[in-house]
A and B are shown apart, each in its own frame.
Chain A
Amino acid sequence: MNPLVQLVIQELPGLISEIRSLFVTQNPGATPPTDAQVVAAYLAACASSIAVDDAWLASHPPTPVPAPPA
Chain B
Amino acid sequence: MTIRQEIRRDLVVWIFVVYASVTSIGFAVQSCSSVAQPPPTLAPASIDDFHKTQAIQALDQIRNIAIAANATTPPQMSTASTRLVVSFHEATVKTIQAAGSGWPATIETAVDNFAKGLPAADATVIAPYVALIDALLKGLS
A and B held together in a complex: yes
**A interface vs B, CB < 8 Å?**
4, 7-8, 11, 15, 18-19, 22-23, 26, 32-35, 38-39, 41-42, 45-46, 49-50, 52-54, 56-57, 60, 62
Q: Bound state CA distance, A54 and B83, in angstroms?
A: 11
Closest residue on chain B to residue A18 by CB atoms:
B12
Q: A7-B4, A15-B11, A35-B46 are in contact. Are A49 and B86 (CB under 8 A)?
A: no
Contacting residues, chain A, for B96 (C-beta < 8 A): 46
Q: Can you list 11 A-B pairs with a CB-CB distance of less than 8 A?
A: A7-B7, A22-B12, A23-B19, A32-B42, A35-B46, A45-B60, A49-B60, A52-B60, A53-B63, A56-B82, A57-B83
Size of the chain B interface, CB-CB below 8 angstroms: 40
A49 close to B49 (CB less than 8 A): no
Q: Which residues of B contact A46 (CB under 8 A)?
A: 56, 93, 96-97
Are B53 and A38 neighbours in the complex by a CB distance under 8 Å?
Answer: yes
Residues of B within 8 A of A4 (CB): 7
Q: Which residue of the partner chain, among B8, B82, B86, contacts A11 with CB atoms under 8 Å?
A: B8
Complex interface residues of chain B between 37 and 61 (CB less than 8 A to chain A): 38-43, 45-46, 49-50, 52-53, 56-57, 59-60
Residue contact A60 to B82, C-beta cutoff 8 Å: yes
Residues of B within 8 A of A56 (CB): 67, 82, 86
Answer yes or no: B138 CB below 8 A from chain A CBs.
no
Residues on A with C-beta less than 8 A from B93 are 46, 49-50, 53
Q: How far is the CB of A63 from chain B (nearest CB, A)?
A: 8
Other-chain contact of A53, B4, B11, B79, B90 (Cβ < 8 Å): B90
- B87-A57 in contact (CB<8A): yes
13 further contact pairs, Cβ within 8 A, besides A19-B15, A56-B82: A11-B11, A15-B15, A19-B16, A32-B42, A35-B46, A39-B45, A46-B97, A49-B63, A52-B63, A53-B86, A53-B87, A57-B83, A57-B90
